[in-house]
Amino acid sequence: MSTHSLLSGIHSPADVKRLQPEQLQQLAEEMRDYIIKTLAPIGGHVGAGLGVVELTIALHYLFDSSHDRIVWDVGHQAYPHKMLTGRLEQMPSIRQYGGLSGFTKRAESEHDAFGAGHASTSISAAFGMAVGCELSGEDRHCIAVIGDGALSGGMAFEALNHAGANKNRLLVILNDNEMSIAPNVGAMSAYLARLITGKTYTSVKDATRKVLEKMPLAYEAVKRLDEHVKGMIIPGTLFEEMGFRYIGPINGHDFNHLLPTLENCGNLDGPVLLHVLTKKGFGFSPAEEDPETWHGLGPYDPETGEPVKTEGAAPAYTQVFADTLCELAEKDGRIVAITAAMPAGTGLTDFAKRFPDRFFDVGIAEQHAVTFAGGLAVEGIKPVVAIYSTFMQRAYDQIIHDICIQGLPVVFCMDRAGIVGADGATHSGSFDIAFLRCIPNLTIMSPKDEMELRNMLATAMSMNSPCAIRYPRGQGYGVELGSPEILPVGKAEVLEAGKDGLVVAEGSRVRDCLAAIEQLRREESKHYTLINLRFIKPLDEDALLKHLKKNKPLLVVEEGCRQGGIGEHIAAVALNAGWRGRFAHLGLPDEFPEHGTQAEIRRDLKLDQNAIASRLRELG
């Protein structure tokens, strides 16, 4: 399609409402075409957005997002929502520096009722809004749109359990993109959905209930019969038992099904769950055929869907981790891998193919993943839990109580540690150093390059105690990859020796510190000692004190939050030893980072080579 005649006229949801129902399908086609072509140069969460185009249009056609509350779980499925709520012209900037967020964000638009980047939160938030509206006397529709993947998170069921026990008006839309849609089933279910949400059926059912409630034995008999029959023909008995009125499943790509059913659901009181069947990547065959890859990807060819490859790029840390784990697992049958709904993101797809009996994807259930790993460790298995740094936050209690207090040998591999880039604040691995460093019995490592990551994984597997390895998103440096070696636990590495001061760095910041030191040696004949910590915990205090000159500057550089970070610990060690020189600590400030490339964010937060060199000059 060369033009977007309807879409170009959509500047707010009010413009959607002015369309005729028969125009909505054309709008959907224009939106898909726009998403595919606009995201091609930049990538993003393409598949999820393509799958909810019709549902998004229907919601904005029937409800008022500036008054009603529409909460999108995770938020990566909200690209079409952004397009219809005044942000169409900004879409080419999505996930780019200074541009739109890739997720819903309250500060970005009044139509974003709740910010989201992590899964399984929408029902809790929407239910809180529903109760809040009732308490404040506001008449609003409160709607949660949650995918079947996010429904695997325990928090979603906690919210269903709470909301179902109350009578507040709440609509939960289950966007199910795993089930296929057969025409006959879709048509029949759509008919039943329209029937049972209609006023006639509802009024008759309510009137009958009132009569039968006066006849307890008859009421219980009819209720049991109704439940048994419903359980045989409707897959929503679980939701009904939790207190929700279950509607569906209906075809989420057919406006003839969506519009009347959604409208009827909006007229019902109490908690309602509408089951909508969609296809991830709908309308673009490459995304339909490979939904896992198209969940989130880089630039691609809009005609073929082929990814745009960068020639000669070094392997990503994720790939190095995955390859190393497979090598180790070939030699040790006790090694198993666990992830929480992110097999591709954590690089474990190949492990799953090669060792299917030793791979476990637990769904969006990080708490369960950690304690499950603890149970495996009790039986002599060597579990490796691969979870993004940002998602590991959900399992903090389990790391402490179920692993570290008991000293169980579980290895936590935390991808996307530090600045994550385009996904922004919700996915930034800012806090893992601070929240893990204070836990007893836990060894924490951070590699300076991809070979060191291999060594650290081998080291962790050789230990009989809990370990965590944090490593960044993106490519390594292209260093030669040899056989992994076991490192001396708790020992730092001295990369440079100099008389003018001490620089201590962890992980991804080591290379930039080395470059800054070389720059100052070349330009100003300054010579600094550089220590690559390798082990954040236990800290190599002996190495620090050996190279710490009494009155020479000390600079600590880490890609984690300064509060509770390594710098505070090192400063205390130095001061207790009688050091009285000038001190500086570069790390993430007390704010949430914006989105952009990793290089752009590191530059702004003064964590790159230029900022490190400048800070050393200031220290003298």
Tokens for 326, please give them: 């497979």
Handedness of CA 279, 280, 286, 290 (dihedral sign): negative
- Cis peptide upstream of residue 41 (ω within 30 degrees of 0): no
Separation between Cα atoms, residue 320 and residue 283, nearest integer Å: 34
Beta bridge partners of 316: 475
Burial 20-30 (b: 16+ CB within 10 A, else e): eeeebeebbbb
Nearest residue to 588 via CA among 557, 615, 558, 561 = 561
Q: Which one of 30, 87, 140, 366 is the catalytic residue?
A: 366
Separation between Cα atoms, residue 109 and residue 103, nearest integer Å: 11
280 catalytic? Reply is yes
Nearest residue to 280 via CA among 17, 47, 577 = 47
Task: Kindly report the number of other CB atoms within 10 A of residue 215's CB atom.
Answer: 11
Tokens for 408, please give them: 């169980």
Nearest residue to 97 via CA among 414, 424, 448 = 424
Task: Kindly report the number of other CB atoms within 10 A of residue 50's CB atom.
Answer: 27
Nearest residue to 384 via CA among 456, 432, 452 = 456
Q: Which one of 32, 69, 95, 280 is the catalytic residue?
A: 280
Task: Kindly report the number of other CB atoms within 10 A of residue 36's CB atom.
Answer: 21
Write the DSSP assignment of 243-298 as a string of letters.
TPEEEEEEETT-HHHHHHHHHHHHT--SEEEEEEE--TTTT-HHHHH-TTGGGSB-
Nearest residue to 277 via CA among 154, 169, 342, 185 = 185
Tokens for 163, please give them: 């909301």
Nearest residue to 610 via CA among 488, 515, 486, 543 = 515
Q: Are 292 and 48 in contact (CB under 8 A)?
A: no
Q: 3-class DSSP state for residue 493?
A: strand
Q: Is 233 exposed, middle or buried (0-12, 13-18, 19+ CB in 10 A)?
A: exposed
Q: Which one of 394, 454, 509, 534 is the catalytic residue?
A: 394
Q: How far is CA 434 from CA 132, 426, 561, 598, in A?
A: 35, 17, 7, 21
The catalytic residue positions are 280, 366, 394
